[in-house]
Structure 1
């Protein structure tokens, strides 16, 4: 579904990604793990068209999307749940969700998807008229996920969904990620909580200083001494 081949990405003169290659197959949950500043968010921003690779190719559904504008990438079926949630604070929950569907014209389908989001996140239904800026961190994370789903994506890019959330909420968010995947959406997940991410992923990539250093099935990475020492709090 997604093939990233040897991409280099720069911020000015600083190289953030060096020859990164990875694949995501339809129906999978693939997770990227690595320390802060390793390049994980940069990779997601590049996939969603917010940054442009200097080198290399990104293919989605067999076609190159390298350097395409972000709105075209959303229209092609890729949605991005950014780090830090980024909800529109002075708009209601429902207005935020409707904005997620701004590129769609099928009003009946939009209504169905709104219903589906409220079923996934009953808390948002209770709060639908409330200003998004007044929601808790966990509720804002649910809203950011719901808003991305309103574009009816085939591929969902998620950046640190558990960041700053209480452990009980983290569990809930991960259960919902699994449910979204079971409903047919492929997921590429960036997550600091490596244990949690590997527990739901099919495959994983470890990124260190802008390069992929290890890849394999989630089980292989959970069993790897190197990964245990660095990311799973193992000894």
Structure 2
């Protein structure tokens, strides 16, 4: 579904990604693991058109999307839940969700999906008239994911969905990640909580200083001493 081939990405003169290649097959959950500043968020921003690669190729469903404007990439079926949630604080919960469906014309489908988001996150239904800026961190994460789902993506890019959340909320978020995937959405997940990420993922890639240094099935990562020491706290 997604093929990234040897991309280099720079912030000014600083190289953030070095020859990164990876693939995501339809129906998978693929996770990117790596320390802070390794380039994981940069990769997601490049895939969603917020950054342009200097070299290399990015193809989604057989079409080149490298350097395409962000709105065109959303239209082609990729939604991005950015790090730090980025909800529209001065709009209500429901207005945020409606904005997620901005490019859609199917009124009936939008209503159905709004109901589905509320079924998935009952808390958002309770808060639907509330200003988004007044929600807790966990509720804002639910809203950011709900808003992305409203775009009806084929591929969902999730950046650090568990960051700063209480353990119980983290469990809820990952349960939903699995549900979204089971309903047919492919997911590329960036996550500091490597244990959690590998427990839901089919495959993983390890990124260090802008390079992919390892890739393989998630259960192999769990079994690898090297990965355990570096990313799973040695447990």
Q: TM-score, normalised by structure 1?
A: 0.99
Aligned to 1:48: 48
* 1:99-150 C-alpha deviation (Å, 9 max, x unpaired): 0000111111111110010011010000000000000000000000000000
**Separation in structure 2 between the aligned mates of residue 222 and residue 212 of structure 1, nearest angstrom:** 18
* 1:59-91 C-alpha deviation (Å, 9 max, x unpaired): 000111010000000000000000000000010
Aligned to 1:198: 198
Quote the RMSD (CA, aligned, Å). 0.6
Q: 1:25-174, aligned counterparts within 5 Å?
A: 25-174=25-174
Offset, 1:226: 1.1
Aligned to 1:214: 214
**Separation in structure 2 between the aligned mates of residue 167 and residue 140 of structure 1, nearest angstrom:** 16
Runs of 4+ aligned residues of structure 1 deviating over 6 Å after TM superposition are none
* 1:7-51 C-alpha deviation (Å, 9 max, x unpaired): 000000000000000000000000000000000000000000000
Offset, 1:223: 1.0
**Separation in structure 2 between the aligned mates of residue 68 and residue 220 of structure 1, nearest angstrom:** 35
Q: In structure 1, the residue corresponding to 2:10 is in which secondary structure?
A: strand
**Separation in structure 1 between the aligned mates of residue 112 and residue 144 of structure 2, nearest angstrom:** 18
List gaps (5 residues or longer) in structure 1: none
Q: In structure 1, the residue corresponding to 2:108 is in which secondary structure?
A: helix
**Separation in structure 2 between the aligned mates of residue 177 and residue 48 of structure 1, nearest angstrom:** 19
List gaps (5 residues or longer) in structure 2: none
Q: In structure 2, the residue corresponding to 1:220 is in which secondary structure?
A: helix
**Separation in structure 1 between the aligned mates of residue 57 and residue 222 of structure 2, nearest angstrom:** 30
Q: In structure 1, the residue corresponding to 2:228 is in which secondary structure?
A: helix
**Separation in structure 2 between the aligned mates of residue 170 and residue 164 of structure 1, nearest angstrom:** 9
Q: TM-score, normalised by structure 2?
A: 0.99
**Separation in structure 1 between the aligned mates of residue 226 and residue 194 of structure 2, nearest angstrom:** 13
